[in-house]
Amino acid sequence: MIVRPRRLRSTPALRRLVTETRVHPADLVLPMFVREGSGDPVPISSMPGVVQHTTESMKPALARAAAAGIGGIMLFGVPEHKDATGSGADDPAGILNVATRVAAAEVGTDLVVQTDLCLDEFTDHGHCGVLDSRGAVDNDATNERYRAMALAQAEAGSQLLGLSGMMDGQVAEVRDALDAAGHTDLPILAYAAKYASAFYGPFREAVQSSLVGDRRTYQLDPANRREGLREAEVDVDEGADIVMVKPAMSYLDVLADVAATSPVPVWAYQVSGEYAMIEAAAAQGWIDRRRAIEESIVSIRRAGADAVLTYWAVEVAEWIR
């Protein structure tokens, strides 16, 4: 035999030298939940090791994230009170905007402070938008709420807005609102290909979702591959600076499609269910926890993600460093 591919696998040093895909701490973004009205951090039972922070407990967590050298944090607010229009979302005194000011003050020069721009945490019905008289999500009325949210988050010090609601035209609407208010340099991350997935289950606990029903009228059908690419292309045309595929591991084909054609950075979100499954299997001794975590993130990067949102961001960064 002349061709022996195993030659390049013969030693750890040689395997390291020819590695095609690497993960750097700066490629990782940590999602963080901040809860209103709690004196202590609240563990999330379905996501071992993850908590709903207070505005005080988040400070050492932010410092640890900055010291680990990760790329940024994505903040989610967990309010005490909800209503039909999610009024707490654009209230300067609302938990997400308060947490954003804290994060910007603590680590704003070391991490990219990012904010989730969606109404689901703030509405009493749990949907990502406002409802019409028939109980359906009103796309255009929701975009008006997103405009207000964008301005509130910009004023609070967010350095990147994560538009996760999957409304048609949301990127264009938010870009217009930001530019009109002078926030022309504030970038937009569009959750472009966000699927109606079963893997969001633990996230519902994390944000204390009050959702009844499902989000299939605005999130993508898991069976559709081309539609994911189309959504990303539309968001880029509307002015998105980064596009996202979510979830990650069940949609690596969509991620690869988007990464192959996108003129802007492409990120992926390793969602709560992906995290919970690995943690649960590792707790039973069925898999090697560290190897499974590392392999899962490498696979997402290999498929084309320039950055990965993962609840293991800080831990993995510390392993790397």
Mean pLDDT of 30-42: 94
Query: Where does residue 33 rank: exposed (0-12), middle (13-18), buried (19+ CB within 10 A)?
Result: buried
Query: Could you give the percent of the chain with pLDDT greater than 70?
Result: 100
Structure tokens at 235: 């968001």
Q: Dihedral of the CA atoms 222, 227, 231, 233 (nearest 10)?
A: 140
Which has the higher per-residue pLDDT, 120 or 38? 120
Residue 321 above 90 pLDDT? no
pLDDT 10s digits, 148-161: 999 999 999 999 99
**HEC string of the chain?**
CCCCHHHHHCCHHHHHHCCCCCCCHHHEEEEEEEECCCCCCEECCCCCCCEEECCCCHHHHHHHHHHHCCCEEEEEEECCCCECCCHHHCCCCCHHHHHHHHHHHHHCCCCEEEEEECCCCCECCCCCCCECCCCCECHHHHHHHHHHHHHHHHHHCCCEEEECCCCCCHHHHHHHHHHHCCCCCCCEEEEEEEECCHHHHHHHHHCCCCCCCCCCCCCECCCCCHHHHHHHHHHHHHCCCEEEEECCHHHHHHHHHHHHHCCCCEEEECCHHHHHHHHHHHHCCCCCHHHHHHHHHHHHHHCCCCEEECCCHHHHHHHHC
Q: Is 246 in the active site?
A: yes
Confidence of residue 211 (pLDDT cuts 50, 70, 90): confident
Mean pLDDT of 168-182: 98
Which listed residue (246, 264, 273, 297) is catalytic?
Answer: 246
Residue 315 above 80 pLDDT? yes
Average model confidence (pLDDT) across the chain: 96
Residue 201 above 90 pLDDT? no
The pLDDT of residue 24 is 98
Q: What does pTM read for this prediction?
A: 0.96
pLDDT 10s digits, 218-270: 999 999 999 999 999 999 999 999 999 999 999 999 999 999 999 999 999 99
CA gap 195, 236 in Å, rounded: 18
CA gap 90, 271 in Å, rounded: 25
Residue 187 above 90 pLDDT? yes
**What's the N-to-C CA distance of the chain in angstroms?**
40
Q: Is 59 in the active site?
A: no
The pLDDT of residue 198 is 93
pLDDT 10s digits, 80-130: 999 999 999 999 999 999 999 999 999 999 999 999 999 999 999 999 999
Residue 208 above 80 pLDDT? no
Which listed residue (127, 145, 147, 194) is catalytic?
Answer: 194
pLDDT 10s digits, 263-295: 999 999 999 999 999 999 999 999 999 999 999
CA gap 25, 239 in Å, rounded: 27
Query: Where does residue 196 rank: exposed (0-12), middle (13-18), buried (19+ CB within 10 A)?
Result: middle
Mean pLDDT of 17-45: 96
CA gap 254, 244 in Å, rounded: 10
Residue 205 above 90 pLDDT? no
Residue 117 bridge partners (DSSP): 163
Confidence of residue 214 (pLDDT cuts 50, 70, 90): confident
The pLDDT of residue 204 is 80
Task: Supply φ then ψ for residue 292, to 5 degrees.
Answer: -65, -40
Mention the CATH class of domain 20-320. Answer: alpha beta
